[in-house]
């Protein structure tokens, strides 16, 4: 099998975090098509983990994989206007996110980014701490109700809690629907939208039906209706109250409805608001849930680090996380940063060159696809010491400043950097701290999770753990 199975812990040595074994040779066309559909991580060869730059002609067209800091900076920052998000990535995110911040391009993107930036300033994000702590408390209560020794799927629990955070911060009056139905629709949509179909790879036009893609349509219709209902209710309540948007509510929906480009004063239209709500859910829910899931797995398999993290969070008073600056928990933060290194939820970023260019001494033709893969970059032999080992020391204060900015890209970089990065890190720290304070989640003996890339990087089939009370 392709997976390096971790050896049983004969002595104290913790197991190696699971990852597909690099291939010795590239896959042929059929193998590549199959791997792209089932798990794109299986396509990487040893050279991808060792070389700064690889290029070639593939079924995806001219493609280069860049692991060189200066070249990455060139693509994402210095010459970013020459590199747009590529068609395959946009198609993967599906029609629901079209014209939201993640997929918009050119002037449409610029206007939205300027209008939405104030929603994610450190001050605004800090205001969401109590809501995040409430979600964390809700999760802890659910977990503590379970019988000691029970096996649970912590990936599903984190998926629920990160959606709960978005619900509390975007629409605190509730979704107006059964939350389970909403979660199912979210899961179904991103599961089907996020599958790379051979037709997409071969560049078939959009009107050619994709097998399986039809299943996303009912979920999308469900969302559109739900979100429209929520916006409509909010408008009515604001009009009836006659108060200013800001004064009445301080949630993301109100901020979105009042958002305006500071340069032109242009606000967002109804369809842009809808696309961005779905974008925040799509971009912010599974990503953060996966960061938490892998953090728990890595701590469960590295007891010395779990003890350090528990000691840190045990110093907190009850309810303190509702007002806590996450930087005050350096060990917990370092664990999350290291989990984001080993298992970056956005495992691959790709761009298409608009005009020809030069990268790391190589000529790039117009139309070539440039892949910057945080998965590869974070495990690259030239950029990290012991890249496959879990070692949060790298991110403790004093050490993290030594990390090359373009060797660590869980949130991307440049103008298209994740707008929700500090929201996500604050949320993950609060939730992880509360979970560690109240329960202990042990690895299931013999179970080795398999990382799969499907829009986000997640463990195939969830993450079973054994629950113990603390
Ligand atoms: C651990 C959690 C998260 C990770 C790892 C993550 C990762 C990323 C990455 C890598 C990008 C850049 C994509 C590219 O350059 O092609 C991105 C963009 C984006 N993210 Fe996140 N994200 C996370 C959480 C969130 C949250 C919580 C939100 C919102 C509530 C969010 C909203 C967005 C949006 C709207 C964009 C597009 C920004 C633009 O193009 O201007 N993300 N994210």
| The residue to which tokens 């918009």 are assigned | 104
What are the structure tokens assigned to 5, written together?
Answer: 């199975």
For 260, list phi and psi in degrees, rounded to 5.
Answer: -145, 145
419 CA from centroid of ligand 1 (Å): 6
| CA 221 to chain CA centroid, nearest Å | 24
- Atom 21 in ligand 1: which residue has the minimum CA distance? 418
- Strand 61-66 vs strand 53-58: parallel, antiparallel, or unpaired? antiparallel
Angle ∠(336,341,342) on CA atoms, nearest 5: 100
Q: Which of these, 389, 146, 176, lies nearest to 277 by C-alpha position?
A: 176
pTM score above 0.75: yes
Which residues are within 8 A (CB) of 28 and not within 5 positions of it... i.e. 6 or more apart? none
* Alpha carbons 344 and 442: distance in angstroms, whole number: 22
Cα 408 from Cα 67, distance rounded (Å): 11
410 close to ligand 1 (CB < 6 Angstrom): yes
On whether the CB atoms of residues 409 and 377 are closer than 8 A, the answer is yes
Q: Is the CB of 341 under 6 A from ligand 1?
A: no
- Compute the distance between CA of residue 42 and CA of residue 26 in angstroms, rounded to an integer: 10
- Residue 236 has φ and ψ, to the nearest 5°, of -60, -45
What backbone phi and psi angles, to 5 degrees, belong to 151?
A: -90, 130
Is the minimum distance from the CB of 283 to ligand 1 under 6 angstroms? yes
Q: Which ligand 1 atom is the nearest neighbour of the CA of 169?
A: 30
Asked if residues 150 and 467 have their Cβ atoms less than 8 Å apart, the reply is yes
Ligand 1 pocket member 348 (CB < 6 A)? no
Helix, strand, coil shares of the chain, percent, nearest 5, are 55, 10, 35
CA of 412 to the centre of ligand 1 (A): 8
Q: Is the CB of 169 under 6 A from ligand 1?
A: no
What's the CA gap between 427 and 158, in Å, rounded? 11
- pLDDT by residue for the chain (470 residues), tens only, comes to 344 444 444 456 788 999 999 999 998 888 888 888 889 999 999 999 999 999 988 777 788 999 999 999 999 999 999 999 887 766 666 666 777 898 888 888 998 898 888 889 999 899 999 999 999 999 999 999 999 999 999 999 999 999 899 888 887 766 666 667 776 777 777 666 655 555 455 554 454 454 555 566 777 777 777 778 878 877 777 777 655 555 555 677 877 888 888 788 888 887 888 888 888 888 888 899 999 999 999 999 999 999 999 999 999 998 898 998 988 999 999 999 999 999 999 999 999 999 999 999 999 999 999 999 999 999 999 999 999 999 999 999 999 999 999 999 999 999 999 999 999 999 999 999 999 999 999 999 999 999 999 878 999 999 999 999 99
The dihedral region occupied by 203, where left means phi > 0, alpha psi between -120 and 50, and beta the remainder, is left
Atom of ligand 1 nearest to the CA of 351: 16
- Ligand 1 contact, 451 CB (< 6 A): no
Cα-to-centroid distance, 416 and ligand 1 (Å) = 8
CA 59 to centroid of ligand 1, rounded, Å: 28
Provide the total of helices (H) and of strands (E) in the chain, helices listed first: 19, 12
Strands 357-359 and 456-459, sheet pairing? unpaired
Any idea what the Cα angle at residue 318 is, between residues 313 and 320, rounded to 5°? 70
Distance 418 CA to ligand 1 centre (A): 4
The CATH homologous superfamily to which domain 109-348+385-469 belongs is: Cytochrome P450 (1.10.630.10)
Phi/psi class of residue 461: alpha, beta or left (left: φ > 0; alpha: ψ in -120 to 50)? left
Which residue's CA lies nearest to atom 16 of ligand 1? Answer: 349
Q: Is the Cβ atom of 426 under 6 angstroms away from ligand 1?
A: no
Q: Is 402 exposed, middle or buried (0-12, 13-18, 19+ CB in 10 A)?
A: exposed
pLDDT of the residue at 216: 64
pLDDT at 143: 97
Instruction: Name the phi and psi angles at 209, rounded to 5.
Output: -65, 135
């Amino acid at each position: 099998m392709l997976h390096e199975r971790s050896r049983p812990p004969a002595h104290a040595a913790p197991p190696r975090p699971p990852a597909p074994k690099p291939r010795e040779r590239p896959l042929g066309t059929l193998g590549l098509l199959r791997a792209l559909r089932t798990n794109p991580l299986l396509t990487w060869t040893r050279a991808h983990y060792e070389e700064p730059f690889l290029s070639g002609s593939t079924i995806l067209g001219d493609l280069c994989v860049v692991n060189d800091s200066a070249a990455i900076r060139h693509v994402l920052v210095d010459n970013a206007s020459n590199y747009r998000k590529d068609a395959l990535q946009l198609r993967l995110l599906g029609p629901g996110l079209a014209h939201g911040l993640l997929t918009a391009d050119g002037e449409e993107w610029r206007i939205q980014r300027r209008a939405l930036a104030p929603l994610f300033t450190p001050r605004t994000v800090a205001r969401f701490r109590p809501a995040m702590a409430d979600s964390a408390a809700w999760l802890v209560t659910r977990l503590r109700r379970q019988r000691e020794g029970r096996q649970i799927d912590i990936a599903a629990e984190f998926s629920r809690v990160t959606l709960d955070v978005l619900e509390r911060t975007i629409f605190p009056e509730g979704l107006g629907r059964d939350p389970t139905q909403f979660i199912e629709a979210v899961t179904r949509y991103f599961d089907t939208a996020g599958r790379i179909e051979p037709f997409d790879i071969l560049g078939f036009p959009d009107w050619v039906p994709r097998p399986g893609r039809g299943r996303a349509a009912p979920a999308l219709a469900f969302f559109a209706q739900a979100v429209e209902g929520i916006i409509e209710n909010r408008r009515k309540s604001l009009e009836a109250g006659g108060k200013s948007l800001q004064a009445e509510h301080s949630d993301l929906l109100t901020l979105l409805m009042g958002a305006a480009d500071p340069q032109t004063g242009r606000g967002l239209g109804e369809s842009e608001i809808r696309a961005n709500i779905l974008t925040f859910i799509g971009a912010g829910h599974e990503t953060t849930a996966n960061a938490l899931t892998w953090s728990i797995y890595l701590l469960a398999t590295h007891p010395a680090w779990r003890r350090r993290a528990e000691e840190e969070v045990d110093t907190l008073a009850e309810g303190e996380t509702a007002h806590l600056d996450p930087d005050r928990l350096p060990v917990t933060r370092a664990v999350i940063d290291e989990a984001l290194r080993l298992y970056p939820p956005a495992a691959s970023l790709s761009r298409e060159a608009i005009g020809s260019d030069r990268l790391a001494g190589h000529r790039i033709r117009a139309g070539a696809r440039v892949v910057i893969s945080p998965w590869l970059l974070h495990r690259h032999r030239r950029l990290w010491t012991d890249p496959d080992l879990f070692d949060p020391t790298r991110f403790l204060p004093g050490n993290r400043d030594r990390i090359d900015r373009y060797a660590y890209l869980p949130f991307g970089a440049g103008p298209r950097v994740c707008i929700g990065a500090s929201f996500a890190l604050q949320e993950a720290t609060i939730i992880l701290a509360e979970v560690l304070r109240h329960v202990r989640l042990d690895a299931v003996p013999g179970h080795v999770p398999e990382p799969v890339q499907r829009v986000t990087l997640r463990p195939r089939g969830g993450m079973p753990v054994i629950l113990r009370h603390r």
